[in-house]
Structure 1
Amino acid sequence: MLGDGQDLGLPNPVVMPGTAPDDPASVYVTVMGRVQGVGYRAWCAQEAERLGLFGWIRNRSDGTVEAIYHGPAKRIVEMVRLAQKGPALAEVTKMLASPCNAPDNASFQRRPTF
């Protein structure tokens, strides 16, 4: 699993040592950069749904985006790699990740700004 608040940097991929590719995993991420007003949240939700992940994503009033992704570890790794790039108009400058508990919902939700 990822260490608490691990700075994933860019463009380094996520590594989850000790977790088998098909083991369930959950990760909480905070994303910084130009990630609001550019379709980042909707794009990430679409990608998470495409990968069959559960969780949620929302904008924060400080300009960051936060999300929880839950599913097979290999798909979490893929989602975080995708989220490091984002859609064409986004510019991710930093991403922090920490392991977390699985979300209560059995779908992927777009939540309102917090």
Structure 2
Amino acid sequence: MSETRTVDAVITGRVQGVGYRAWTQHQAQLHGLTGHVRNRDDGAVAATFSGPAEAVSVMLKACEAGPRGARVEAVAVTDRPGPETFPAFEIRGT
């Protein structure tokens, strides 16, 4: 069984108004991840991903490109100290 990894990611660049949150939710569900994504007031997108370590790594790599129309400048990742469980992957308000 794969180790569970939970991370917080802050994605900066042109990531609001391009469908980034909906794309992130779809990608996370495809990879079997739980967590959430939201827009931040500063123009960035914040996400929490939890699931098998390999799937989280693949998701973070995908976030570097994002959906069509996005222009990602950086993805800052912080590992959480312990795995967390979320019921699903959801889009949250700002």
TM-score (norm 1): 0.77
- Alignment-derived partner of residue 73 in structure 2: 93
**What is the number of residues matched between the two proteins?**
93
Unpaired runs of at least 5, structure 1: 1-20
CA contact (8 A) 2:50 2:85 kept: no
Measure, in 1, the Cα distance between the counterparts of 2:91 and 2:84: 13
- Counterpart AA for 2:2: D
Matched, 1:29 2:9: yes
Higher fraction of strand: 2
Measure, in 2, the Cα distance between the counterparts of 1:86 and 1:104: 24
* Residues 30-56 of structure 1: CA deviation (Å, up to 9, x unaligned): 000000000011101100011110100
- The structural deviation recorded for 1:64 is 0.4
SS in 1 for 2:64: helix
- Alignment-derived partner of residue 44 in structure 2: 64
Measure, in 1, the Cα distance between the counterparts of 2:77 and 2:42: 17
CA contact (8 A) 1:68 1:103 kept: no
Larger Rg: 1
Q: Which runs of 4+ in 1 moved over 6 A?
A: none
- Alignment-derived partner of residue 93 in structure 2: 112
RMSD, aligned CA: 1.4
State the identity %: 37
CA contact (8 A) 2:15 2:71 kept: yes
- The structural deviation recorded for 1:82 is 0.6
Unpaired runs of at least 5, structure 2: none
Measure, in 2, the Cα distance between the counterparts of 1:37 and 1:75: 26
CA contact (8 A) 2:11 2:45 kept: yes
TM-score (norm 2): 0.93
Aligned partner (choices 45, 49, 55) of residue 35 of structure 2 = 55
CA contact (8 A) 1:29 1:66 kept: yes
